[in-house]
Amino acid sequence: MTDLTRLTAVETREAITSGQASAVEVAQAHLDRIAAVDDRVHAFLHVDADGALAQAKRVDAGEITGPLAGVPLALKDVMTMEGIPTTCGSRILEGWRPPYDATVTARLKAAGVVILGKTNMDEFAMGSSTEHSAYGPTRNPWDLDRIPGGSGGGSSAALASYQAPLAIGTDTGGSIRQPASVTGTVGVKPTYGGVSRYGLVAFSSSLDQAGPCARTVLDAALLHEVIAGHDPRDSTSIDAPVPPVVDAARLRDVTGLRIGVVKELQGDGYEAGVTARFEEAVETLRGLGATVSEVSCPHFDYALPAYYLIAPSEASSNLARFDAVRYGLRVGDDGVASLEEVMAKTRAVGFGAEVKRRIILGTYALSSGYYDAYYGQAQKVRTLITRDFQAAWSQVDVLVAPTCPTVAFPLGAKLEDPLAMYKQDICSIPANLYGGPAASFPAGLSDGLPVGLQVMAPTLREDLLYQVGGALEAALPAQAPTLSWES
């Protein structure tokens, strides 16, 4: 009998519609898979077996139809889901059960997608390895001694270990693309405002963006189509049609497409194997009929420091809402204590070291006498990076670079060196500062570990991402982890 957990989302839907398997059988197979392997991977923080099976029964009863009806999905624990614990990987939200669904969650339910549960993540999406979760690290299914990327390592690990064929991630500085790169999966950051942020617990409001994660390009495109589109509850939501991403993913043709290799996102600091796979992927696209040229984006060199001023500044404002009064953890009110004392004790216990570090950085950058010198200057750099992108679009249709300068590194290797950890996002951050769409697609292996090709496009041209990704996927041999640790 077919192993239902090894099917793509498209194949899963076909199995359900053809009667080869019911949606309940598909859901149960994935729940059994989670029970069998997640004690070693730790992709999930909460599994909603009852809710998943109830949704699957609705699909089997014909109440919900659609391209992804009955297909299981892993939801990053930064998206709210009514009645289901939402922690953002932090102790400060321990026990909180939201009274409402995020727009993304609601759209998934309306499409008949079966949400299996909530996935592990770096606390409040602050990290590049999923080692900053208050609930322990997630492990990379390719090698359990290595990181699965961050902050959405739980979602990417769930895909790579066949615990779910689809997942939702969020991307503030690379948190969808970087995990996709190091786990050999597909991850897409849509245009800022292309997917609603309503119900996405904010880290950096001008950068955060939810997006689809999958094992194939077409699966990601189908999921993208479900979650994207205008939402009046999100003031930054774009009121424009969703780009034709599914048609683009099926096209598998890049003839005549102009591809620009970013000069500044290569060279020193990039592992030799990553560079080799990147160059091979570019040559593959050239062989498929694309034209390739080098493009200089000089201000990309300043993206990393600009990001680590802007994002922590916004985080220091957003995280002020966790005050030990309205929801979540509350410490120190068992005796006579002032609100300030309770708040201080709760935050001391509830926030992890990386979150505290970024709050301090952000508060400093916004403080009197430093605002113009730090935050203000960083915003000017952001404008210059946007101009670099705009200048590039007069020369090429898409830009490409490695998604990440290295393959997955060992757990603990960079925990004591925050700057080394931050540099993992050096390739992915520019697209967030610009606001345009970007994606990571599998591009081969280096020493047995996955490498990702990053593709960046103009705003609301996600179709170009899927066009390139689909063509590359069809041209390169399929890759999958051996999962030798299962035996």
User: Active-site residue among 128, 151, 161, 204?
Assistant: 151
- Per the annotation, the verdict on 175 as an active-site residue is yes
φ, ψ dihedrals at 452, nearest 5°: -110, 145
185 token code pair? 């999966």
Work out whether strand 72-76 and strand 114-119 pair parallel, antiparallel, or are unpaired: parallel
Q: Are the C-beta atoms of 263 and 297 separated by less than 8 Å? A: yes
CB 191 within 8 A of CB 134: no
Closest CA to 218 of 244, 188, 189, 249: 249
Q: In this structure, what is the dihedral angle of CA atoms 304, 309, 313, 319, given to the nearest 10 degrees? A: 40
Which residues have C-beta within 8 Å of that of residue 360, sequence separation ≥ 6?
A: 316
What are 424's two structure tokens?
């993992």
**Distant-in-sequence, close-in-space partners of 340: CB < 8 Å, separation ≥ 6:** none
End-to-end CA distance of the chain: 20
Report the b/e string of 439-478 with b at 16+ CB within 10 A: bbbbbbbbeebbbbbbbbbbbbbbbbbbbbbbbbbeebee
Measured CA distances, 294 to 81, 272, 290, 472 (Å):
44, 19, 13, 19
Estimate the share of the chain in helix, then strand, then coil, as percent rounded to the nearest 5.
Answer: 45, 15, 45
Exposed/middle/buried for 287, CB within 10 Å: 0-12, 13-18, 19+?
exposed
Select which of 129, 133, 161, 175 is catalytic: 175
CB 91 within 8 A of CB 36: no
Neighbours of 381 (CB within 10 A): 19
Residue 202 CA, chain-centre distance (Å), reads 14
Output the six-digit token pair for 176.
């969808």
Number of C-alpha atoms within 13 angstroms, CB side, residue 295?
25
Question: What are the two backbone dihedrals, phi and then psi, of residue 435, each rounded to the nearest 5 degrees?
Answer: 100, 0
Q: What is the strand order of the sheet 438-446 is part of?
A: 44-47, 114-119, 72-76, 166-170, 210-214, 186-189, 438-446, 449-456, 398-402, 258-262, 291-295
DSSP 408: P
What are the catalytic residues?
76, 151, 175
